Structure 1
Amino acid sequence: MMTALLRTALTGFLLASIPATSALAYDPAGSVSGSYLAGRSAAKLRDNDLASDYLTNALKTDTGNPILTEKVFLLELSEGDMPKAEEFAAEVLKFNSQQRMARIVLGLKDFKGRHYEEARRNFAQSAYTPVGELTSWLLTAWSYAGEGELNPALKALDRLDSNESFANFKTFHEALIADYLGNSIRAEASFKKAYEAAGTSLRIVQAYGNFLERHNRAAEAQSLYRAYLEADQNPLIEAALAASLKGEKPQPFIASPGEGASEALFSLATSMNDDQSIDVALLYTQLGISLGADQDIMYTLLGDTFEDMKRYDKALAAYQKVPASSPLRVNADMEEAVALQQLGRKDEALAKLKSIVAADPKNYDAIVTLGNLYRANSDFANAATTYDQAIALLEKPGPGNWRIFYYDGISHERLKQWDQAEKLFRKALELAPNEASVLNYLGYSMIEKKINLQEALDMVKKAVELKPNDGYITDSLGWAYFQLGDYEQAVIHCEKAVELLPADPIIAEHLGDAYWRTGRTLEAKFQWQHAKDNKPEPEDLKRIEDKLKNGLPPAEPPVTPVQNTAPKTNG
C-alpha cells in the first residue's frame, strides 16, 4: 500500500508483562490466578477467544481489577465486539485516562454518533506516540470533514508535517477530504502529488482514477488503471477498468465521514505488517470494520491479518464474509482454500481451488495457488503439471513471475527431472538475479550432484551475502566447502548454520560430517546424535544412524571446482 511504512507498535498491549504491583489476589482454589494464567497463556498463543473467556471469568471474581479490565478490553476489541469494547474502554479510562486504544474506541463511538467535538477530545488524548499522533490527526481531520469544514481539516493534517514518514498519509487523505467536500482543484493537486509519491498504491490508484472518472476524464483514469495492471493483476483495478470502458460512472470513492475514517484506519492497518505490530493492525482493522465501509476490502484485510497471525480458523471466517458480488470474492475463495489447507482440511482446500480453476482456466493466481497446495502436500507430479499450466499463460514473463519458475523447478527436481528443473531455476534467476532462495536452491542442488561446482559455490556465496542470517543458505555454503574438500571452511559455516537453526537435523548432520573430517570425532558423534533426536525423515534417519555406528568412510579425492561443460543428470 503506502510507501511510508510505520512500524511503531503500541505499548501496553495485551501481551505486556504483569507489573510487579499487580492487584491479583492469591486464591487457593485457583479461580482468579488460574483463570488469569490460562488467559495469559491463550493470549500469548493469540487465541483471543479463549483468552477473553478466561480473563472475563477472572474479572468476575476480581471485579474492578485494572490489569484484567485493560486486557479484557483489548481482547474484546481484537475480536471485533465493539459494544463490549466500548463498555470496557470507559472502565479502563477510570484508572488510566490516557490509555490510547480506549481513547480511540470512545472517540470513534462519538464520531459515529456525529458528536465530533467530543470525538476530537478523545483523539487528542491518544496523540502521545508516533502512531498515536498519526491516528489522532487523521481521524480528527475526518471529524472536521464531517462538519463540512475543509480548512480545519487541512490544518489537522498539517500536524503530520512533524514526521516525514507521515507524508504519504497526509497527502492522500488531504486529497480524499478535499474531494469529499467538493474542492476539486485542491483534490486534484493532492491526488497528483500522492500518485507521484506512491503510484503503486492500490488505494491511491483507485481513488485517483475514481476522481478522474467523475470529472469526465475517463481516458486518463483508464491509462492509470492500465499502468497499474502492468505490474499487478489486481481484481479491484480490473473491475474499475472494465466498468470505465463500459461508460459506467462510479460513485464517490468516499461518500461519508465514516468511510473516510475507515479509510484512515485501513491505511494504518496495512502499514503495520511486521510481527511486532500485527496485533495492533488487528485492532485497527476491527475498528475500521465497525464503521461499516468497504466491507469487502476490510474483511479481506482482516482475513490476511489473521492468516499472518496463524489464526486460520479466524481467517477462514473473515474471508467468508466478503460479499459474493465483490471483485474480491474469487480472491477470498483462494485464501479460504489456503486457510483450509493450514487447518488440515486438505481435500476441501483442493476441491475449492479446482472449482475456481474449472470456472476460469485462465486464472493465473488460482492455478499457482493450486500448484502451491499440491507442493505443500508433496504431490510434486501434480504440482509440476499445474505450474507448467500457469507458465503457459504467461505471454512475456516479467521479474514478478520468478516464483512460478522457482516453484516449478523445485517440483521437477523432487521428481528427479534435473534437466527440466535446472532450466526452470535458471529462468527464475534470469528474471530475478539477486533472489537468494533461487541461488541457494540451484547452487545446493549442483553441489549435491557434484556438477558445476565453481558456479555453484559462487551462487551460494552470493546467496549468503544477500541473506547472511539464513541458516539454510549458510549451511549450503558450508556443504559446498565440504564437497570441495575444504573441511576447515566447512566447519566455520556449518557451525554458524547450526547456531541459526539448532533444531534442523540435516544441518546438524552436515556439521557432524565436517567435524569428522577434521578429526573432531566426539563432536561429530554429538552432532549426529543431535540430528537423530530432531526427528529427521526416515531415509535420513537411516543414514545418520549408520554414521553414529560406523563414522564416515575414508574421504574421496575432492572434486575440482571447475565448470563442467557436460553436466551429469540424475534422471
Structure 2
Amino acid sequence: MTKPLSRMLPALAFGLFFAALPAQAGYEDIDVEGTSLSGSYLAGRFAGKQRDMDAAGQYFQQALRDDPNNAVLIERVFIFDLSDGKVASAEDYAERVLSFNSQHRMARFVLGLRDVRLKRFVKARENFKKAAYTPIGELTATLLTAWTYAAQGNQAQAFNTLDKLDQNESLENFKSYHGALIADYLGANIRADSFYKKAFAQAGNSLRVVQAYGNYLERNGRKDEARKVYEQFLQASEKNPLVRQALDSLDKGTKPEAFVKTPEAGMSEALFSVASALSDDQGLEVALAYAQLALSVSGDRNINLTLLGDIYESMNSYQRSIDAYDAIDKTSVLKPNADLEVAVNLQRLEKKDEAKARLKALIATDPKDYDAQVTLGNLYRNNEEFAPAADAYNAAIALIAKPERENWTVFYYRGIAFERTKQWDKAEPDFRKALELEPDQPMVLNYLGYSMVDKKINLTEAIAMVRKAVELKPNDGYIVDSLGWAHFRLGEYEEAVKQLERAVELKPADPVIADHLGDAYWRIGRQLEARFQWQHAKDNKPEPEDLARIEKKLKEGLADDPPVTPAQGTPTGNNG
C-alpha cells in the first residue's frame, strides 16, 4: 500500500542526502512505578529500539524521577518529548540538555525556534549557528537563519546566508527553492523569478517546487506558464490532489494567496524539506523530530501532518499515524488520502471492522474513488473474504476507461479472489490480463504458473512461467517452491527435492512449502524426513483443509498419485 506523500511525489523534497509490515511491539498495562532505575532505563532503551514511543517515554520519565540530574536521562526525555510533539516540555528540557552539552543540535533548534516566536532573531541565530556542525545541522541552520533575516526585511543578509550552501553541490536545490520563497516573500520578483526557474529546472518533479512556482506564476499574471507547470507534473502524477486543486482553481480564475505568507511559514517549510528528505528507514527518528518542529511553527499544517502520519506509519507506530492523519482538516484535499491510510493502519491494528467502515464511508462520499475501492478489496482479500474482495475489485475495474500498465495489480488481485473462490474460468483471464499489462511480472507468472501446475493443466506453459519467475526473483521462497512443485507434478522428484529444500531455506516457517518438501522426500524414499517436514508444516498453522490432509499423511503416508507429463496437461479453462 502506498503512503499519501509517496503517492503525491515522485520527489517530495529533492531526494538529497539522504509492503505488509510486522505488527508493532506492544507494552500493555505498563507498570513503571515498581520498576528500578536500571530496569526503567533498560526497558526504555528496548522500547525505543522497538520504536514504541509511548512505552519508552514512560520508562525514561520514571528513571528520571528516580535520578533527576542524570544527563543521559534528561537528554532521552528531551528527545522523546520532542518526538511526541510536546514542544513546550521539550523547550524546558532543552535548556537542561545545553547545561551539559552546549552543542546539542536539536536542543539548539528547539530553543532557536522559541526565540523566533518571541521575535528574538539575534538570539535565534546564535542558537542556529551553534547547531551547524554536521551536514544536516548546517543545512537546517542555514535555511532557518536566512528566514530570520527575511523576517527582519534584510534581503542582502538572507541571500548571503544562503550562499553558504554553495560549498556543497548536493544542497543546491535547497538553496534555489528557499531562495525563491524568500525573494517571493520580500517582493524581489526579479530574483524570485531567477531562483524559481532554477529550482524548477533542478527539481521539476518535486511537489513543493511545482506548487510554489505555479503559485508564483499565477500571482504574477502568468497563468499560461503556471498551467504548463501544473500539467507537466500531472502527466507523471495524475492523481496528485494538491496540484490538481491548483489547476482547477486556475481554471476557475481564482487568484491564489501567497504560497508562503510569513517567515514562520518559510521556516516550517524548511524543516519540512529536511524531514521529508530524511524519511527513509535509516533516518526516521531524526525525520520525526524535524516533522514535529515543522508543526511547531505556523506553516502548512495539513502537509506537515501528512508527513508526520507517513513517518509514524513507516515506524510501525500505527495508532500515532492514525492520530496524525485524523488531525488533517476535513476540508483539505489531502483528507481522502489520509482516510485511506487510516483504514490500512486500522487493519494492521486488527481493527478490521473499523477499517472497512472507514473505507466504505470514503466510497459513499466518492463512489469513483478508485484507490479506495482497490484498498477495500485488499482488506477483504487480506482477511480471506474473497467473495466481497472480488466485488470491490469489480467496482474498481468498472472505473477504468482503458486499462493501463499501472492497473495490472487490480486484475492480479481480482484473479486471486476468483481463484480462491474456485472460479478458475474467471481467474485465469484476469491473470493473463495482468501479464498483458505488465509482461514478465514475477508475481503473476508465479501465481498463474503454480495454479496451472497444481491443477495439472497447460504444464508446458506453466513450467515455463514458473522458471521465468525464478529467473526474475531467484531468492523468493514462494516462487522457488512453485518450481519445485512443478517438478514434483512431473515426477521429477530428485529435482523437486533440490528446489523445495532451497525454498524451505528461504521460507522456513511456511507450512505449504514444508508440506511440499515432505511429499517430495516421500517419493524418493526418505520417509522419516518426509514425516518431519509434514509435522513441521502442521506446527506452522496451515489452512484447515491443508491440516486435515497433512494429518492423514502423518498417519498413513503419501498415497500413490502417478505424475503427469506436459502432453497430458488439459487445455486452458479446464479445471482438470
TM range (shorter): 0.7 to 0.9
In structure 2, the partner of 1:148 is 153
SS at match of 1:80: coil
- Of 383, 388, 395, the residue aligned with 2:389 is 383
Deviation at 1:165, TM superposition (A): 4.2
In the alignment, does 2:195 pair up with 1:190? yes
Distance 1:504 1:536 in 2: 8
- Of 273, 278, 288, the residue aligned with 1:282 is 288
5 Å matches for 1:75-154? 75-154=80-159
Distance 2:557 2:169 in 1: 61
Deviation at 1:152, TM superposition (A): 4.2
Letter in 2 for 1:323: D
SS at match of 1:327: coil
Letter in 2 for 1:304: D
- Of 212, 218, 226, the residue aligned with 1:207 is 212
Letter in 2 for 1:169: F
Deviation at 1:250, TM superposition (A): 0.5
Deviation at 1:310, TM superposition (A): 2.4
SS at match of 1:252: coil
Q: Contact 1:443/1:459 (CA < 8 Å) preserved in 2?
A: yes
Distance 1:168 1:563 in 2: 63
Distance 1:312 1:438 in 2: 30
Letter in 1 for 2:305: Y
Q: Contact 1:100/1:125 (CA < 8 Å) preserved in 2?
A: yes
Q: Contact 1:210/1:221 (CA < 8 Å) preserved in 2?
A: yes
In structure 1, the partner of 2:21 is none
In structure 2, the partner of 1:430 is 436
Deviation at 1:56, TM superposition (A): 0.6
5 Å matches for 1:30-429? 30-230=35-235, 231-429=237-435
Q: Cα RMSD over matched residues? A: 3.0
Deviation at 1:259, TM superposition (A): 1.4
Distance 1:130 1:74 in 2: 20
Deviation at 1:197, TM superposition (A): 3.8
Distance 1:565 1:545 in 2: 30
Structure-2 change in CA distance of 1:137 and 1:33 (3 Å): same
Distance 2:511 2:347 in 1: 26
Distance 2:440 2:128 in 1: 45
Q: Deviations over 1:76-102 (max 9, x none)?
A: 111100011122222222223333322
Q: Deviations over 1:241-291 (max 9, x none)?
A: 221111111111111222122112222222334333222222221111111
In structure 2, the partner of 1:450 is 456
Distance 2:122 2:467 in 1: 60
Q: Contact 2:373/2:396 (CA < 8 Å) preserved in 1?
A: yes
Q: Contact 1:356/1:366 (CA < 8 Å) preserved in 2?
A: yes
In the alignment, does 2:503 pair up with 1:504? no
Greater displacement, 175-184 / 314-323: 175-184
Deviation at 1:210, TM superposition (A): 0.8
Ranges in structure 1 where 5+ consecutive residues have no aligned partner:
9-28
Ranges in structure 2 where 5+ consecutive residues have no aligned partner:
1-8, 19-33
Distance 1:127 1:477 in 2: 56
Distance 1:501 1:547 in 2: 22
Structure-2 change in CA distance of 1:60 and 1:449 (3 Å): same
In structure 1, the partner of 2:546 is 540
Question: Given the two structures, how large is their TM-score scaled by the length of structure 1?
Answer: 0.88
Q: Give aligned-pair identity as a percent.
A: 57
Structure-2 change in CA distance of 1:441 and 1:107 (3 Å): farther
Q: Contact 1:144/1:152 (CA < 8 Å) preserved in 2?
A: yes
Deviation at 1:465, TM superposition (A): 4.1
Question: Given the two structures, how large is their TM-score scaled by the length of structure 2?
Answer: 0.87
Letter in 1 for 2:244: E
In structure 1, the partner of 2:23 is none
Q: Contact 1:52/1:75 (CA < 8 Å) preserved in 2?
A: yes
Q: Contact 1:474/1:493 (CA < 8 Å) preserved in 2?
A: yes
Distance 1:451 1:364 in 2: 34
Structure-2 change in CA distance of 1:456 and 1:47 (3 Å): same
